Structures are given as structure tokens and as C-alpha cells.
Amino acid sequence: MATCTARTATTTDRAPRTRLAARRGSATLLLVRGQLSLLGHEEPTFDATFARMRRIELATGAWVDYAQGWLRGDASVFEQLAESTRWRTSEERMYDKIVQVPRLYAVLPADGPGHAVLEPMRSALSQHYRQEFCRVSMALYRDGKDSVAWHGDRVARRMPDALVATVSVGGWRRFLLRPYGGGSSIALNLGSGDLAVMGGSCQRTWQHCIPKVAHADPRIAIMFRPQWEEEY
């Protein structure tokens, strides 16, 4: 098993304290001026047996494991992560311009304490897949304008096989998968405690994205990865 190592943060940008909102059935999350009020949430628990997990077999040795509502009580997890995390911005080159990446990100524990349920989830995932998920990072999609373009993880797409597990808390967003370079896509709606694990050759032979939409409630993607030889 790999040894988990800490990663140091270098910037201190925080998410704007204006308004974040998310709805999950009858539950409503409302963040105004940094305060989140909650209706219809329970103590966070998750299915350590993975009994409701189903595998979606893709072509060329790729697959995705999907468990709807794997984490219960995601509202309180969203609340604590939104409030206690030092959310950061980043830039990337697009053609001949430097543009701001349309989402915020963080790495734990460098950017915040996380939530008490994250370590048990990480441990359960490591035992289930027999590979140590050492690295925990997060992405905050504030509204429908935040997105991520078609891609495979920068390091994992150069590996024969790789695992990336994502637990979504907050609002739902469409998660699309397509064969590398184009083709028909497969869609999953991820949010409210859903778990999706990409495995096999998925990062190398397929691409995934979160497209922009007209309206969307805030979503936090909690990502668990093994310690690869090169940092992502």
C-alpha cells in the first residue's frame, strides 16, 4: 500500500461570501453572508458495504462504479466544507490567453479540516478497491457557470489503469463520459451524496466533463486518489 503524504497549499483565496444555494428533495441549503441554514438533513453516514454499487462497463477496459445516495446526510457535509475550506482559484492557458478556471478547488488537509466522515469514507474506499486512496481534493461548482471541460486526469491518463473516486455533495450536475477524442456520451446526474468511481483505462481511453448549464445549485466534488508517482 502507498504511504499517504501531506501536500502544502500555496494560496489563500476564499470563496465569495455572497450566496450559495442547493436543494436536495425537500432539503434546502442556503448560504448567505457565510451562514448556512439547513432543513431536512441527518447525521452523515455512508454504505460501507457498497451493496447498491453498480458497475457500468465501458469500451477498451474502462468502467465506472456508481452508487446513488451512497452518503446520507450530505447537507451537513456540504455546509462544513463550504464554510471551513480555504477555496482557491487557478488559471490556465486557453489558446493565446490566460483565463481563470471556472470553479474553485482545495486540497486537504492543507486547505482546511474537512469533515469527520471523510476519513472513514477514504478508508472504506481503500479497503473495497484494495488500493490506498491517499489524496483528498475538492472542487466547488458555485453555479451553472462553473464547469470542467473534456479531459482525463493529467497523470492518470498516462497510466495503463487508474482509480479516481468522487463523492458529490450539494446540488446535482450532469457528469458526461465519452470515448477519448469524441463520440457518443454517457450521462450521470451526480449530487446529494452520490459516489462515482472511474477505473480501469477510463482516464486514458475516455474523457469526462461537467458542462455549463443555465441554472445549477452549488455542488462540491470530493475526490479521492491514490498517491501516484507524479502529483496531479
pLDDT digits (tens, 9 = 90+) for 204-232: 999 999 999 999 999 999 999 998 765 43
149-164, pLDDT tens digit by residue? 888 676 656 767 789 9
- CA neighbor of 67 nearest in space, from 136, 4, 129: 129
State the distance between the two ends of the chain, measured CA to CA, in whole angstroms.
Answer: 19
- Residue 4 in domain: no
CATH value at residue 217:
2.60.120.590
Distance CA 84, CA 4 (A): 22
| The amino acid at 223 | M
The DSSP bridge partners found for residue 21 are 30
Q: Does residue 8 fall inside a structural domain?
A: no
Q: Is the pTM of this model over 0.95?
A: no
The 3-state DSSP class for residue 100 equals: strand
Distance of CA 150 to the CA centre of its chain: 15
Other beta carbons within 10 angstroms of residue 28's beta carbon come to 16
Domain that holds residue 50: 19-225
